[in-house]
Amino acid sequence: MDNAYDVVVVGGGAAGLNGALMLARSRRSVLVVDAGQPRNAPAEGVHGMLGHDGVPPAELLARGRDEVRRYGAEIVDATVETVTGKEGSFAVTLDDGRTVEARRVLVTTGLVDELPDIEGMRARWGRDVVHCPYCHGWEVRDQPIGVVATGSMAVHQALLFRQLSDDVVLFLNDQPDLPDDDAEQLAARGITVVTGAVAGLQIEDDQITAVRLADGTAVARSVVAVGARTAARVPFLEHLGLSPVEHASGMGAHVAADEVGRTEVPGVWVAGNATDLSAQVGAAAAAGAMAGGQINADLVAEEARAAVEARPLRMGA
């Protein structure tokens, strides 16, 4: 590992690796620092991504790492603890004690899914506790699905899963009563609504068999869908004064940025789930590629300005 890079990419998921690919192909010196915990790690395959449908998440990223290294970028397995400094001279400190310098920083550390505190939920996450009809809806089609409400998106989620199975139950889980319009839509689509707090998931032979309510009732289900609150994983940006803010969608907290990934701190860019909470793998990769290209253009402009300033004065100038 060198000590100074044009760009340090923090996070080596789809967004980070695609950003690094664009930068390395532009002959930029790039270091990717990756803690190795992509959000979809518990899933068996990446779905809905053209040309890669069903590929295991780890395999996709291993291929991406090979591609990035082919152009000379370095990838290190570590966690970034702090980023300090300013545009042109950031200091990025890793958990192994090393500190490297970077002219620009691309943040692609994804997000944390904050699951409701319901027994069994975390252990089954990404297997038979799911959140996204496009990621794993096809895989759970025609099964008895229980949607556990955690907020205002529950009715929408129940209607989306109803597209995949005609046996959907919405557990209100002590959320407020439904507006009449919502209740009518659910009834018209044959979705049963169950009131009362959800206490846990009943697991037998390593699969969900029922959703247990606080009053002891067990409602037979083999799949649970839940809308987790999401939060960008960026504690290391604190020293730069860059904190996540609530996203207008109500989905959670993200790092605000413009459409190409530029944040309010000059020289710090962001792509993927850390800023776009609803991005799937393809969208995260595309955003990483966009940010990588834009960072290169930003450096090109800086270098052109510096070259003009460094030119010897010409006759008559």
By the criterion CB under 6 A, which residues form the site for ligand FAD? 10-16, 33-40, 42-43, 46-49, 79-80, 108-110, 113, 126, 135, 233, 236, 272-273, 279-282, 284
Min dist. Cβ of residue 125 to ligand FAD (A) = 6
Q: Round to whole Å and give the CA distance between 55 and 45.
A: 5
Nearer to ligand FAD, 6 or 276 (CB): 276
Nearer to ligand FAD, 24 or 193 (CB): 24
Instruction: Tell me the pairing of strands 218-220 and 207-213.
Output: antiparallel
Q: Round to whole Å and give the CA distance between 285 and 280.
A: 9
Number of other residues whose CB lies within 10 A of the CB of residue 36 = 12
Min dist. Cβ of residue 311 to ligand FAD (A) = 40
Min dist. Cβ of residue 171 to ligand FAD (A) = 20
Min dist. Cβ of residue 10 to ligand FAD (A) = 5
Number of other residues whose CB lies within 10 A of the CB of residue 33 = 25
Min dist. Cβ of residue 207 to ligand FAD (A) = 16
Write out the DSSP string of 133-166.
Answer: HHHHTGGGTTS-EEEEP-STTHHHHHHHHHTT-S
Q: Round to whole Å and give the CA distance between 281 and 273.
A: 9
Q: Which candidate, 154, 189, 188, 184, places its Cα nearest to that of 170?
A: 154
Helix (H) or strand (E) holding 84: strand 80-86
Asked if residue 49 lies in contact with residue 280, where contact means CB atoms within 8 angstroms, the answer is yes
Min dist. Cβ of residue 159 to ligand FAD (A) = 20
Nearer to ligand FAD, 13 or 261 (CB): 13
Nearer to ligand FAD, 194 or 260 (CB): 260
Nearer to ligand FAD, 213 or 237 (CB): 237
Nearer to ligand FAD, 33 or 213 (CB): 33
